[in-house]
Structure formats: structure tokens, C-alpha cells
Amino acid sequence: MTTHTVERPAAAAFGAKAWARIGLTAAAASIAAVLAVQALATAVWPDIALFNPLDSLGRSAVFTLVPAIGATAVFAGLARRSARPESKFITISAVVLLISVLPDYALPVPHKTLLASTVTAFLHVVAGVVTVALLIAGYRRHR
């Protein structure tokens, strides 16, 4: 009689609490990084604060929190179903990041300048890098 062992992804045992802790840590760090960079950028170039995406720290915090929660859910799902969740998550994150910066340049918004659009796009990169790095670090730590 032959027995077969089914190999499950290591993160299948992660509970919702572990993912919530990892995700909230990543979200908090991302929000802090985005707000710090935004505050610095608007201090250096005050006119960019006229651009709607850069005129509110609260809005920036929410627009950083929501994708961080979504990224956590995507990574948790990949970790449950995939043998290589990290590489798939990085690929998905890179595609989503590229798509997310397009509106910063394309949408007709009052007070949009190349500088304001570029700062906004850079904030997407800051949020994405911090979120992805901390989600992966948290995943590896709990594995």
C-alpha cells in the first residue's frame, strides 16, 4: 500500500489574527511613510498641495489603508492556495502599482502639474514598497 503526502503551503495554518496583525502593521507603516513623504514634498513645493490628491493627509491615509488591506487579503489568499505565494504576490503588486499611477497623469484634475502628478505617483511607490515588504517579512516570520 502506497501512501501519498499532500504538501500544503506553509501559510495555510495562518489564522485570521496573524494576517490581521501582519496587515495592520504593514498598513500603519505605509501610512506613516506616505504622510511623512507627502508632508516633506508639500513643504518643499507648496503649490503641489493645490492638486486634489495632495491636499489632504487624511485622504492620503485612507487611500493607503484600503490598498494595504486589499494587499493583505490577496497575499493571504495566495499563501493558502499557492506553493510560491511570494513571487506571485510581488508580480501582482507590481502590475497593480503600475496601473495605480496612470490616473495621476491621465485624469484631468485641477492644478495638476507634472511635479504634482509625479509626487503623487511616488507616494504610490512608497506605499507599495512598504506594504509589500512588510507583508512578505511578516509572512516569513510567521511561517
Query: For the whole model, what pTM was predicted?
Result: 0.88
Measured distance CA(108)–CA(101) in Å, rounded:
14
Angle at 87 between CA 84 and CA 92, to 5 degrees: 120
CA distance 126 to 14: 27
Q: What is the per-residue pLDDT for 123?
A: 98
Determine the Cα–Cα distance for residues 55 and 38; give it in Å rounded to an integer.
10
pLDDT of residue 7: 46
Contact status, residue 86 vs residue 79, Cβ threshold 8 Å: no
Per-residue pLDDT of the chain (143 residues; tens, 9 = 90+): 555 544 445 545 678 999 999 999 999 999 999 999 999 999 999 999 999 899 999 999 999 999 999 999 999 999 999 989 999 999 999 999 999 999 999 989 899 999 999 999 999 999 999 999 999 999 999 87
Taking a C-beta distance cutoff of 8 angstroms, is the pair 83, 12 a contact?
no
Question: Cell 496612470 identifies what position?
Answer: 102
